Amino acid sequence: MDRQKTKNGMLGAEVRTDLALEAGERLQNDNAVPEGLRVEKLPCEDGAAVITRVHVESGEAARRMRKPIGTYITIEASALAGEDEGYHGKISELLSRQIRELLPKGEQRELLAVGLGNRAVTADALGPKTIDHLAVNRHILPFYREETRKKTFTVLSAIEPGVMAKTGIETAQVVQSIVRSLKPDAVLVLDSLAARSIHRLYTTIQISNTGIAPGSGVGNHRNAIDCETLGVPVIAVGIPMVVDAATIVRDALGDSRRQPVEQTEKKAAAYLEKLQNMYVTTKEIDEMTERLSFTLSEAINALTKRE
Amino acid sequence: MDRQKTKNGMLGAEVRTDLALEAGERLQNDNAVPEGLRVEKLPCEDGAAVITRVHVESGEAARRMRKPIGTYITIEASALAGEDEGYHGKISELLSRQIRELLPKGEQRELLAVGLGNRAVTADALGPKTIDHLAVNRHILPFYREETRKKTFTVLSAIEPGVMAKTGIETAQVVQSIVRSLKPDAVLVLDSLAARSIHRLYTTIQISNTGIAPGSGVGNHRNAIDCETLGVPVIAVGIPMVVDAATIVRDALGDSRRQPVEQTEKKAAAYLEKLQNMYVTTKEIDEMTERLSFTLSEAINALTKRE
Amino acid sequence: MDRQKTKNGMLGAEVRTDLALEAGERLQNDNAVPEGLRVEKLPCEDGAAVITRVHVESGEAARRMRKPIGTYITIEASALAGEDEGYHGKISELLSRQIRELLPKGEQRELLAVGLGNRAVTADALGPKTIDHLAVNRHILPFYREETRKKTFTVLSAIEPGVMAKTGIETAQVVQSIVRSLKPDAVLVLDSLAARSIHRLYTTIQISNTGIAPGSGVGNHRNAIDCETLGVPVIAVGIPMVVDAATIVRDALGDSRRQPVEQTEKKAAAYLEKLQNMYVTTKEIDEMTERLSFTLSEAINALTKRE
Amino acid sequence: MDRQKTKNGMLGAEVRTDLALEAGERLQNDNAVPEGLRVEKLPCEDGAAVITRVHVESGEAARRMRKPIGTYITIEASALAGEDEGYHGKISELLSRQIRELLPKGEQRELLAVGLGNRAVTADALGPKTIDHLAVNRHILPFYREETRKKTFTVLSAIEPGVMAKTGIETAQVVQSIVRSLKPDAVLVLDSLAARSIHRLYTTIQISNTGIAPGSGVGNHRNAIDCETLGVPVIAVGIPMVVDAATIVRDALGDSRRQPVEQTEKKAAAYLEKLQNMYVTTKEIDEMTERLSFTLSEAINALTKRE
């Protein structure tokens, strides 16, 4: 969530969201779906969740979506905001299968999990807290019996690279250093997301094979955490924990005006400027971060077992 | 901040704020200052802060302000959002003097500090965290030499009553129980506040002699933490840590429309409904809660020394 | 664990332990079992744990045990130090039944849980952290339908009184104040304990009907949290999280000497003096406190359901 | 503190300590000071602290000390266990100067601080918590004006590599990866230490130019964090936060016996086995970790300013 934000020039034109699903919906509402954008609803398992795949397949689609070319899987699971452990377990399994499909196939693979974000900032702590609960096995695998080792499909290790404001180092550089030394088969990046709609807080999981690209689908790639910079596939998994304050206001203005007058827009734009760096969330964020970090970690831990 | 919120029927009519200063400004902007509302700017010390006293002196003023009759002192200290320790120390001293003026006079007095809020919720943890840093002396005073005891002006004790969702007990009932047993000369209530303007986050301290009244200036007093329910003066000290999300949207709409159309309002009202329980804040809230709890505690600790 | 420690005059004579089971074993080893001390092993359920009841029934037994007259139930469950959730669940149920037997019988009862200790000190945080996970219902019961209310056997509320060094108030006084106001049918006190044997860390649960008596079985009762001071039955539940450093050394000396020479003792006594306020524990204490607080809270939450 | 412990075969022969000062004292007491071990007391500044330099200059000295060849500076500052901010500030300055002397000289240098240990384990959290308070500047230096940049003597960055049990990766490998990518002029390693004497808890700072060598002065170097494995000077700074439980017992037995009988030793050895992984500390450890991490970080932050 710490990556550089897109500058949105025009009021109401585009809203910031980390969810490809929301970006796609926006374009659909505006009757502006570009070529190369394909949305696929999956037949869902027992109604527990809705799974959607957004395929961004052209440069034009990437530019309009402000998301890199790739596949974005969204699990909408409204009961995730609740306490039902059985439900969380079910979504963990579902998530695990979705991640598995994006991972490189093979006899045995090695996976490095990366917990992005700042654990000292509640709104940004989901990644580091997920790392806390992972059952890493890379260091103990040499001590396993042959039999056990064969049963373990994925070798798992994990790091928390910290945030640049605290380390003085670009997060991408920290991750690249470790990846060069460990040479994993894939990297799994865990992060807090920002959504457009408050209904998505705590209830939507996005899995993508695009990694984390600061800014948008275009431009400077030096600080991306993706297949290009790391040299291995990068799967990103995240859950919206906040909504940009400016987005909320923009949406409210959009809802309440049909034909925005030029002058009105200017005023509103000045107001929105004030909202930079402000975010909207609920009092449950501390508790939800704790609980959802378990749900994510369970999904990843399940990867270490052969299906 | 956990107290029951005012239901605001009309869009844009009234916005939720815990700051009497903001409530007063709103009435002034609307040219609707009632009788019995008096605002007094104090000649400030060396420009470090602006001190304002809002006197709510009539039932009509209380109703319009949605604040109980009493005095509300506001210290506006914009640099509080920064890290300058010297500045924080200066504001602590200034705050200490303001609290002292509202306290009952006398040879030696006993003060009970109450840290309201839920320490597990960042946005609500200012009160409990302030309590953590207090230099309580009630239990060691009997062991002091006569001389030391005379120098200590205020006997200090402190409790963190918790929140009803965690204790199952009305917070007011917990505080009343302790007050009945301890019989302090005054109670000092510490709490996180909600402001209307994002500029007030972390930068404004409100001190009032009205205690904490759930709801507003009128109605059910059973669960108030005030002079009436506790039987001793109650001084409330708080700092805005969040802004209601609905307030932000209402303000934006207000700014962008001169003559709100009826139909527009209805739509916006529906939108605002969605924002219930949402709040706006910044990524700095975790760090600011930590720092400001020290600033408050230093002011209270200074009360134990004779001026 | 904060209560005043017993002064042990003679080296090796008596060691500090909060566990009646250990105090009884010591007397047995020394062939010094007093009249009025009765130990009863319970036929245990499926080998998951060993349950022992120590009955202290005479003043002489109380004096020698340094424990008030009453019943002390010990659940020895070695796998509690592990991560097996199923096992923790089983012990929670077992614990719940043992607490239930000590509670006053009746149609519907009201229970106040008290989390003793200091949450900022890992070794002392078990009580407060248990409180965090309780499903209190006292405040929502009035809103339940008649049917649901009948199914709920126990009305539960909870407080964390803090420690005197932080509040300036005797913990017993805080608890008494709340009890006077709430008038529960029983009080359930949760606390970290100190054991004599390091094997008991994290693996033994003690339930007693004696409350918490500072010092020992004799003397000053003003600051006790027990039936006498609160006016209602007090059940204390605790788990050893530390061993006194002096106890460890005393035991080692005891093991290595058969006939302690007078001069040797003096030296050792001087050494033990240095160990005051030192405790022995493991690196797992932070994690164990987290996990065991859940095990305790589950047992208490189960009390709110009719058996 | 997580590094592999020395196996001590003989009872009482050698005790585990991370402090070269204590290891040297032990040899002195036994009249067994080897050649190549030189201890130097520094004329101290205004009595605030005692500074000692232990020079381990031969392989024999290293073997006997169980410490790599190099220089170990010890600051004994008994008031560090107290709250006096002025004193802590003075020791920070003193520590800063001692670190500066061990650093490579030059126009401008780049320093990487590494916080070793597990932040979730209080006894092991000093390193990570120190990192939290560092004023890193590596990422903002390009944006400084030429003038400011010249005033900044040291470019500072920081990482928290985590512990192998949580990452699945050897800590040394994580550090090596980052060092290879960043190419700093020196690495500053921060860690919790284990002392032999309880009097050293929280009151002694050790600075060495040897890095962190798992085990002892001899053997497997693959997992060391030192000049040889990193290719740049490594300065280690640590403070004792715990004492090994076995060490305490061994010392007590040593104190109470002049002529240990063979049989007695065997019994005691069996007892000591039980104490593996147990440590001795005080209830203040949580608070002291918090406070001392500030004292260390202030010393390091001061390095970024030209003397």
Q: Which two tokens stand for residue D67?
A: 């410490």
Alpha-carbon distances of A199 from A206, D27, D63, D82, rounded to whole Å:
15, 68, 64, 50
A291-294 contacts at long range (C-beta below 8 A, 24 or more positions apart) = A291/A83, A291/A88, A292/A80, A292/A126, A292/A202, A292/A239, A293/A125, A293/A126, A293/A129, A293/A130, A293/A132, A293/A133, A294/A88, A294/A133
pLDDT tens figures, A282-299:
999 999 999 999 999 999
Is B176 in Cβ contact with C156 (below 8 Å)?
no
Q: Which two tokens stand for residue D11?
A: 């009872």
Looking at the complex, report in whole angstroms how far the Cα of residue D181 sits from the nearest Cα belonging to chain C: 33
* DSSP letter assigned to residue C47: T
Q: Which of A140, A168, A178 sits opposite D138 (nearest CB)?
A: A168
Q: Tell me which chains share at least 3 CB pairs under 8 Å with chain D.
A: A, C
Cα B127 from Cα B189, distance rounded (Å): 8
Nearest alpha-carbon partner for B162 in D178, C136, C238: C136
The whole-number pLDDT of residue B6 equals 36
Nearest alpha-carbon partner for A305 in A127, A101, A128, A135: A135
Q: Which of B120, B199, B280 sits opposite A286 (nearest CB)?
A: B120
The whole-number pLDDT of residue B214 equals 64
Smallest CA–CA distance from D118 into chain A, residue: A132
Q: Which two tokens stand for residue B100?
A: 């002292």
Bigger pLDDT: C275 or B179? B179
Q: From the CB of residue B145, how many other CB atoms can be counted at a distance below 10 Å?
A: 8
Q: Look over chain A and give the mean of its residue pLDDT values, rounded to a whole number.
A: 86
D163 φ/ψ angles, rounded to the nearest 5 degrees: -110, 150
Mean pLDDT (whole number) for D155-165: 96
Residue B41's Cβ-side half-sphere holds a number of Cα atoms within 13 Å equal to: 5
Is B278 in Cβ contact with A268 (below 8 Å)?
no
Q: What is the Cα C109 distance to its own chain's centre?
A: 22
Give the type of residue at C136.
Answer: V
Burial A254-274 (b: 16+ CB within 10 A, else e): eebbeeeeeebbebbbebbeb
Cα C121 from Cα D283, distance rounded (Å): 6
**pLDDT over 70 at C132, yes or no:** yes
The whole-number pLDDT of residue A7 equals 35
Interface of B with A (CB under 8 A): 118, 120-124, 198-199, 243, 245, 248-249, 251-253, 255-257, 264-265, 267-268, 271-272, 274-275, 277-283, 285-287
Q: From the CB of residue A104, how many other CB atoms can be counted at a distance below 10 Å?
A: 11
pLDDT tens figures, A136-161:
999 988 888 777 777 777 899 999 99
Is A271 in Cβ contact with B255 (below 8 Å)?
yes
* DSSP letter assigned to residue C37: E
Q: What percent of chain D has pLDDT over 70?
A: 86
- The answer for residues whose C-beta is within 8 angstroms of residue B266's C-beta and 6 or more apart is none
Helices vs. strands in chain A: H and E counts, helices first: 11, 9
**pLDDT over 50 at A218, yes or no:** no
* Residues of chain A contacting B200 with CB distance shorter than 8 Å: none
Q: Which of A134, A160, A168 sits opposite D139 (nearest CB)?
A: A168
Cα D4 from Cα D219, distance rounded (Å): 12
**Cβ pair A282, A201 in contact under 8 A:** yes
The whole-number pLDDT of residue B1 equals 55
Cα D63 from Cα D198, distance rounded (Å): 25
Longest dimension (CA), chain B: 73
Cα B259 from Cα B279, distance rounded (Å): 27
pLDDT tens figures, D43-80:
766 788 999 999 999 999 999 999 999 999 999 999 99
Nearest alpha-carbon partner for C178 in C238, C140, C219, C131: C131
The whole-number pLDDT of residue A15 equals 58
**pLDDT over 90 at D226, yes or no:** yes
Give the type of residue at D234.
Answer: V
The whole-number pLDDT of residue C3 equals 44
Burial bucket for residue C78 (CB in 10 Å: 0-12, 13-18, 19+):
middle
Mean pLDDT (whole number) for C92-101: 95
Cα D201 from Cα D244, distance rounded (Å): 12
Nearest alpha-carbon partner for B191 in B118, B251, B284, B116: B116
* Residues of chain B contacting C165 with CB distance shorter than 8 Å: 136, 139
Cα B35 from Cα B58, distance rounded (Å): 7
* DSSP letter assigned to residue B235: E
The residues pairing with A243 across neighbouring beta strands, listed in sequence order, are: A195, A280
Residue D143's Cβ-side half-sphere holds a number of Cα atoms within 13 Å equal to: 5
Q: What percent of chain C has pLDDT over 70?
A: 86
The whole-number pLDDT of residue C288 equals 97
CA angle B286, B292, B297 (to 5 degrees): 130
CA angle D235, D238, D243 (to 5 degrees): 145
pLDDT band at D255 (very low <50, low <70, confident <90, very high): low
**Cβ pair A189, A234 in contact under 8 A:** yes
pLDDT tens figures, C133-171:
999 999 998 888 777 777 777 899 999 999 999 999 999
pLDDT in tens, chain B (307 residues): 544 443 333 333 455 799 999 999 989 988 989 999 999 988 766 788 999 999 999 999 999 999 999 999 999 999 999 999 999 999 999 999 999 999 988 778 899 999 999 999 999 999 999 999 999 999 998 888 777 777 777 899 999 999 999 999 999 999 999 999 999 999 999 999 999 999 999 999 999 999 997 644 444 566 899 999 999 999 999 999 999 888 888 877 765 444 444 555 666 677 778 887 899 999 999 999 999 999 999 999 999 887 6
* DSSP code per residue over D54-123: EEE-SHHHHHHHTS-SEEEEEEE-GGGGS--HHHHHHHHHHHHHHHHHHSPPSSSEEEEEEE-S-TTSGG
Bigger pLDDT: C215 or C123? C123
Cα A167 from Cα A162, distance rounded (Å): 7
Please report which helix (H) or strand (E) contains residue C188, including its range.
strand C186-195
Looking at the complex, report in whole angstroms how far the Cα of residue C167 sits from the nearest Cα belonging to chain B: 5
The whole-number pLDDT of residue C302 equals 95
Q: Tell me which chains share at least 3 CB pairs under 8 Å with chain C.
A: B, D
pLDDT tens figures, A189-211:
999 999 999 999 999 999 999 99
Looking at the complex, report in whole angstroms how far the Cα of residue D241 sits from the nearest Cα belonging to chain C: 12
The whole-number pLDDT of residue B5 equals 40
Mean pLDDT (whole number) for D260-266: 57
Q: First-to-last CA distance in chain D?
A: 32
**pLDDT over 60 at D301, yes or no:** yes
The whole-number pLDDT of residue A43 equals 72
Burial D118-150 (b: 16+ CB within 10 A, else e): bbebbbbbbbbbbbbbbebbbbebeeeeeeeee
Give me Rg for the CA atoms of chain A.
20
Bigger pLDDT: A122 or C143? A122
Bigger pLDDT: A25 or B219? A25
Is C257 in Cβ contact with D271 (below 8 Å)?
no
D234 φ/ψ angles, rounded to the nearest 5 degrees: -125, 120
Q: Which of D120, D131, D168 sits opposite A158 (nearest CB)?
A: D168
Nearest alpha-carbon partner for B279 in B149, B122, B170, B159: B122
**pLDDT over 80 at A45, yes or no:** no
Looking at the complex, report in whole angstroms how far the Cα of residue D256 sits from the nearest Cα belonging to chain C: 5
Is B170 in Cβ contact with C174 (below 8 Å)?
no
pLDDT tens figures, A242-274:
998 888 888 777 654 444 445 556 666 777 778
Nearest alpha-carbon partner for C248 in C289, C281, C209: C281
pLDDT band at C7 (very low <50, low <70, confident <90, very high): very low
Nearest alpha-carbon partner for D38 in D16, D60, D18, D61: D61
Mean pLDDT (whole number) for A214-220: 48
Q: Which of D132, D164, D178 sits opposite A174 (nearest CB)?
A: D178
Bigger pLDDT: D29 or B186? B186
Q: Do chains A and C touch (3 or more CB pairs under 8 A)?
A: no
Looking up tokens 């788990």, which residue turns up?
C239
Cα torsion at A250, A254, A255, A258 (round to 10°)? 160
State ipTM. Answer: 0.90
**pLDDT over 90 at A122, yes or no:** yes
**Cβ pair A91, A47 in contact under 8 A:** no
